[in-house]
Amino acid sequence: MSAGTSQWDTRIPRTTGAIPRHHLLATLQQVLDHKLTLICAPPGYGKTTLVAQFAAQTPEAVAWLSLEERDRDLPNLHSQSLSALEVAAPGIDSLAAIPGFDPGELATLVADYLRQNTSRPLILVVDDIQAITGSSAAELWLQTLVERLPINVHLVLSGRVLPNLPLTEMIARGDVLAFGQDQLRFSPQEIHDLAHEMLGVVRSMSEVEHLAERLEGWPAGTVLALQPLPTELEQLILSGGSGPEALFDALAGSMLEAQPPGLRDFLLSSSTLTRMTPELCNTILHLSNSAHWLAEAQQRNLFLSRVSGGLMFHRLFRNFLQRQLREDNRELYLSLHTRAARWFQDNNQLEWAFEHYLAGGLDERAAQLADRVALTYFSQGKVETLLDWRDQLGQIGILAPNLLYNCARIHTDRYNYDEAEIALDEAQRGFGLAGDEFGPVRVALQGAFIALQRGDFRRAAVEAGQLANTVADQPDLRGNALKILGVANLRLGEGTSAVQYLEHALDYHRVDGDAYTLANVLQDLSVAYWHLGRFKEASAALQEVVALRRSLGSSSALASALNNLGYYFHHSGSYDQAINSFQEGLAVLARVPNKRVESGLLWSMGELQRDLGAFEEASRLFNRALALISGSDPYLRCAVLISASIMYRWWEQPQEAESLALKAGTLAGQHELALEAVTAQACLWAARTQLGQAADARRHLDGLITALRDQDAHSELAWANTLAATAALLSSDHPAVDAYLHCALDEARQIGTFQALVAEIGNTPLLETYVVQHAGKFGDLIGALKHLRAAQPIVRQPPRLRQVDPQMTYSLRVYTLGSEWVERDGEEVAPSEWRSTTAREIFYYLLFQGPESREQVCLEFWPDSSPQRVRSNFHTMLYRARQALGENVIIFDNGLYALEPDLDLWCDAHELERLVGEARLLPARDARTEALWRRAAGLYKGDFLPAWDADWAVNYREHLHEMYLETLIGLGQCAGARHDRREAIAAYRRALDVNPYREDVHRAIMLCFAELGEKTQVLAQLQKLQTLLDEELGLEPSDETVALARRLLE
């Protein structure tokens, strides 16, 4: 064993008597050639033993992490991973879980530390990966870790189920080495060698082959079957009967009976503990001679492995021993678990204490423990433990109200509002039975918060208002009630009241010193200030939020604060500062993405680009924002739709503007978004003004102006008066135009910004001309318009005028899907014209990666060359690319190399992205949706740039591959929406050709067959999936799939 590996021998499990599996160990030598190694099989297939043998032999450093149920909680998982990695990366254990950091951020900290502090190969083994299945936080942590690990770190995941990772893409890249159930079965020769090793006897090959066939090569059963057995049991094994796992108890029982009485009793009693040491067995269980018996059990190869912290029985064997003890001596079974529960509670190992209390029949003690620590565990992020405790207590009908209340908070954070309300109802009953005075108040407050999150702002305001008066002597509860009340009033259009409530809430939260809550209240307050036009106060609040977020360190929270600050700069006319804030926010998210925050940033950037006249860029940003917004955020979706409607009207596409305004209005009505509802109506009538309905529009806009005045929405009032001025101008009512504009100016002066007013005028040529012609009346507007015009070149350069030149190129058509070629002004560029593959790749790199500096391009293409060589290479390749494509195609501007923006350029990959983006925004029943999906599917002729293997190309290839899969599923959904089940099945089957492991697609096919009344096909589809998963992965379909099939087959 190497020195590097020997550092880890206290963590790597060691099992005595295990035969080396040379052919598997030889294959495992390929671990260093793959990013991820998967070892997946049911219990008893020797997964841990095999990897431990490999770890003992490899000359490379090995870190070993064995997962348990408690590691479903992110803080525990993160802490255990740091502890496992400490010797390979000294100091990494200082990266303790930081409150407010999400799973992706914590995993990124680990990956970045390894990248910066390790260079030699490191193998990280994570055993029993199934322990974290279903924990969204733990799975996201693992996904991010896999994505961001440095190239010298190789991950080995072992467990009973496949981890939730993008395995299809990784397998396609060749990143995965996999071992399944079939590879782990014992061969007849291995059984023959094992019999000789264990018993010193030689069995005939026919007998061995019969045993292998009977037990299907199951290692755990084989080891037991080779023990001396009663004749009748040995004959049962060889003759057939029950399946392999069903034989385990019988085999283990026979083996147990063959042990000396003292050892047998020790095995049964010690199985109470998951991990054992002589001290623990003596201290907790009061067992004598523990050291002797543990050594004896290891010598007899009784499924005992040395692990970090002691010894552990194999799970199958421990479960057998526990069942046997409970059946033979229930009183002793309960007594031992009670002793263990008390010891673990006294030593503050509360998860183990809870489990032992339940096993010992002390259900009420378990409930009391869970209730006492529920708030602490919630604050520490141990949410999976709390949910598991609730499930276990719920099955035996015990109400632990504090536990239930905190579980409701967990479900609320996950947008599982129905589950949250069920838990709150149970908590209310529990508090009532316990006579708790303040418990019901907390339940009611959480109910008001859920109403706020659901968009039921009226109910949230009523309930929070009642609670604020009820808990006047409880500062923390009153502060939270006032915050809910403030946000609800803001959403209901009561801006002045919202500010009052939020300012009072802020006073309470400044006292308790909770930086997270304080930042949240300040952020809400800044929005309320903004709606009232109190921009200086909004700015001060936002600057404090950014400072708090920077100090706390959470990327997502900081990006959100920067978004709000950039929005303030935008509407203050500080466009360059706004761009910097938005770009910093996106840069913060680049390391650890957050879809909701990113969608907000994209919306804000889209509004800025729109105001500056960059409509194509704004459209792209709005579409990206809508694609990221989840259905649980109606406010943000409504806001983006309103912004896009304004853009399309300015872009002289009033029909599209009208359509988007109608969608925004419907959404605002459904969720009682009072201000957004009025704003959407104003957008609607502004679009209809362009469509020739100026008189009707003016009448409706007058009513909307009154509604906005009632809501104290000064910024929206300034903008709406400008819309009315345009309608009046089209009716040649110049006095009314002046009146509306002066009202708009009054509102703008009151709030201290002309941005909404000026952007509307500056993008409405007719109105802008009128204002310029009457400059004497609107002096303030003229200056603001000039400022806007001066800023526009920052974002949108005027088109360049070209002269006809044979060296110039006017259009490029680029084909990258399935095959690769470029057409220049209608003629294909021959491969010989490039004169170098690298020149061609640089063109594609700039096309798909965007503008880059020379240094970045050189780092990508010649990372190991000298500076002189790099400069020579770069300019040579740039010259060749320009010769092939035209001198004007690749430009140098502001220190960056990029493709000429005014070039008429079409690319199939970009067109695919555009079509998919548009299709995502439409419902399946819309006729346009299916047309978009069909066009997208027609474009995908095969993999993106199939001959290229650069990292950027591989990543983009995977991205487009997933888009194609989404396209096929979209076609199936469209066909299903028009009740063409046959065509839907055909589309879904094409999707399975792309990724056969997508169980959701298999379920969609089963549903289609069920709707056609073809139950035999439902069963056939299920069996096809079962065969695929079994043969390829050694797994079974999910419970969801099986349950659906059973329901459809009833």
Range with the poorest average pLDDT among 264-268, 405-409, 921-925? 921-925
Whether 519 and 531 have beta carbons less than 8 Å apart is answered as no
Whole-angstrom Cα distance, residue 230 to residue 249? 14
Contacts of 739 (CB under 8 A, 6+ apart): none
Q: For the chain, what percent of residues have pLDDT higher than 70? A: 92
Whole-angstrom Cα distance, residue 939 to residue 39? 38
Beta bridge partners of 66: 127
Residue 801: its pLDDT value, please? 32
For 278-301, what is each residue's pLDDT tens digit?
999 999 999 999 999 999 988 887
Total H helices, total E strands in the chain: 53, 14
State which fold the 3-184 domain adopts.
Rossmann fold (3.40.50)
H-only helix segments in 691-830:
694-710, 714-730, 734-751, 755-762, 765-773, 779-795
Whether 981 and 930 have beta carbons less than 8 Å apart is answered as no
Short-list 412, 436, 431, 433, CA closest to 422: 412
Numbered ranges of CATH 1.25.40.10 in the chain: 363-483, 913-941+949-1049
Residue 420: its pLDDT value, please? 93
Tally of CA atoms within 13 A in the half-sphere of 955 that contains its CB: 7
- Report whether pLDDT(244) > 60: no
What rounded mean pLDDT belongs to the chain? 85
Whole-angstrom Cα distance, residue 913 to residue 921? 13
Residue 373: its pLDDT value, please? 93
H-only helix segments in 886-1014:
908-920, 927-939, 951-977, 981-994, 999-1011
Which carries the bigger pLDDT value, residue 699 or residue 798?
699
Mean pLDDT, residues 910-926 taken together: 83
The highest-confidence range among 457-466, 753-762, 864-873, by mean pLDDT, is 457-466
Residue 817 φ then ψ, to 5°: -100, 110
Whole-angstrom Cα distance, residue 178 to residue 39? 6
Residue 241: its pLDDT value, please? 46
CA dihedral in degrees (832, 834, 840, 846; nearest 10)?
-150
DSSP assignments along 517-571, one per residue: HHHHHHHHHHHHHHHTT-HHHHHHHHHHHHHHHHHH--HHHHHHHHHHHHHHHHH
Residue 683: its pLDDT value, please? 95
For 310-354, what is each residue's pLDDT tens digit?
888 888 889 999 999 999 999 999 999 999 999 999 999 999 999
Q: How far is CA 620 from the centre of its chain?
A: 23
Predicted confidence band at 798 (pLDDT cuts at 50, 70, 90)?
very low
Whole-angstrom Cα distance, residue 731 to residue 282? 96
Q: For the chain, what percent of residues have pLDDT higher than 90? A: 41
Tally of CA atoms within 13 A in the half-sphere of 113 that contains its CB: 20
Whether 403 and 374 have beta carbons less than 8 Å apart is answered as yes
Whether 939 and 908 have beta carbons less than 8 Å apart is answered as yes
Predicted confidence band at 202 (pLDDT cuts at 50, 70, 90)?
low
310-313 and 904-907: which strand pairing? unpaired
Instruction: Tally Cβ neighbours within 10 Å of residue 490.
Output: 25
Residue 3: its pLDDT value, please? 36
Short-list 191, 213, 333, 198, CA closest to 270: 333
Whether 310 and 298 have beta carbons less than 8 Å apart is answered as no
- Report whether pLDDT(834) > 90: no
Whole-angstrom Cα distance, residue 807 to residue 888? 8
Whether 967 and 940 have beta carbons less than 8 Å apart is answered as yes
- Report whether pLDDT(19) > 90: no
Tally of CA atoms within 13 A in the half-sphere of 469 that contains its CB: 5
- Report whether pLDDT(808) > 90: no
Token output for 395: 């099955």
Mean pLDDT, residues 846-850 taken together: 89
Mean pLDDT, residues 471-497 taken together: 88
- Report whether pLDDT(721) > 90: yes
Residue 757 CA: distances (Å) to CA of 741, 788, 907, 1048: 9, 11, 38, 58
Whether 368 and 390 have beta carbons less than 8 Å apart is answered as no
Residue 878: its pLDDT value, please? 85
Whole-angstrom Cα distance, residue 131 to residue 351? 15
Contacts of 889 (CB under 8 A, 6+ apart): 809, 812, 843, 881, 882, 899, 900, 903
E strand or H helix that includes residue 604: helix 595-611
Whole-angstrom Cα distance, residue 996 to residue 1026? 12
Whole-angstrom Cα distance, residue 411 to residue 470? 26
Instruction: Tally Cβ neighbours within 10 Å of residue 918.
Output: 18
Kindly provide the residue ranges of all beta strands, DSSP E only, lying in 78-179, ordered along the sequence.
Answer: 122-127, 153-159, 176-179
DSSP assignments along 315-368, one per residue: HHHHHHHHHHHHHH-HHHHHHHHHHHHHHHHHTT-HHHHHHHHHHTT-HHHHHH
- Report whether pLDDT(309) > 90: no
Whole-angstrom Cα distance, residue 753 to residue 569? 11
Predicted confidence band at 806 (pLDDT cuts at 50, 70, 90)?
very low
Residue 39: its pLDDT value, please? 93
Short-list 161, 117, 122, 112, CA closest to 139: 161
DSSP assignments along 869-932, one per residue: HHHHHHHHHHHHHHHHH-TTTEEEETTEEEE-TTSEEEEHHHHHHHHHHHHHTS-TTSHHHHHH
Whether 423 and 404 have beta carbons less than 8 Å apart is answered as yes
Whether 405 and 424 have beta carbons less than 8 Å apart is answered as yes
Whole-angstrom Cα distance, residue 879 to residue 874? 9
Whole-angstrom Cα distance, residue 1006 to residue 1044? 9
Q: Please compute Rg for the chain using Cα positions.
A: 34
Q: What is the DSSP letter of 852?
A: B
Q: What is the DSSP letter of 29?
A: G
Whole-angstrom Cα distance, residue 153 to residue 123? 6
Whether 663 and 670 have beta carbons less than 8 Å apart is answered as no
3-state DSSP of 220-276: HHHHHHCCCCCHHHHHHHHHCCCCHHHHHHHHHHHHHHCCCHHHHHHHHHHCCCCCE
Numbered ranges of CATH 1.10.10.10 in the chain: 811-902
Residue 315: its pLDDT value, please? 82
Handedness of CA 768, 769, 774, 780 (dihedral sign): positive
Choosing among 1.10.1240.10, 3.90.180.10, 1.10.10.10, 1.20.20.10, the CATH entry for 811-902 is 1.10.10.10
Whole-angstrom Cα distance, residue 334 to residue 655? 74
Architecture of domain 363-483: Alpha Horseshoe (1.25)
In CATH, which superfamily holds the domain spanning 913-941+949-1049? Tetratricopeptide repeat domain (1.25.40.10)
Q: What is the DSSP letter of 98?
A: P
- Report whether pLDDT(238) > 50: no
Instruction: Tally Cβ neighbours within 10 Å of residue 379.
Output: 10
Short-list 295, 269, 296, CA closest to 282: 269
Instruction: Tally Cβ neighbours within 10 Å of residue 169.
Output: 18
For 951-1004, what is each residue's pLDDT tens digit?
888 889 999 999 999 999 999 988 887 677 888 899 999 999 989 989 999 999
- Report whether pLDDT(5) > 80: no
Numbered ranges of CATH 3.40.50.300 in the chain: 3-184
Helix, strand, or coil (residue 969)? helix
Tally of CA atoms within 13 A in the half-sphere of 333 that contains its CB: 15
Whole-angstrom Cα distance, residue 571 to residue 643? 14
Mean pLDDT, residues 531-536 taken together: 76
Instruction: Tally Cβ neighbours within 10 Å of residue 834.
Output: 20
Amino acid identity of residue 519, one-letter, is: A
Range with the poorest average pLDDT among 235-244, 742-751, 799-808, 879-888? 799-808
Q: What is the DSSP letter of 817?
A: B
827-828 and 904-907: which strand pairing? unpaired
E strand or H helix that includes residue 814: strand 811-815
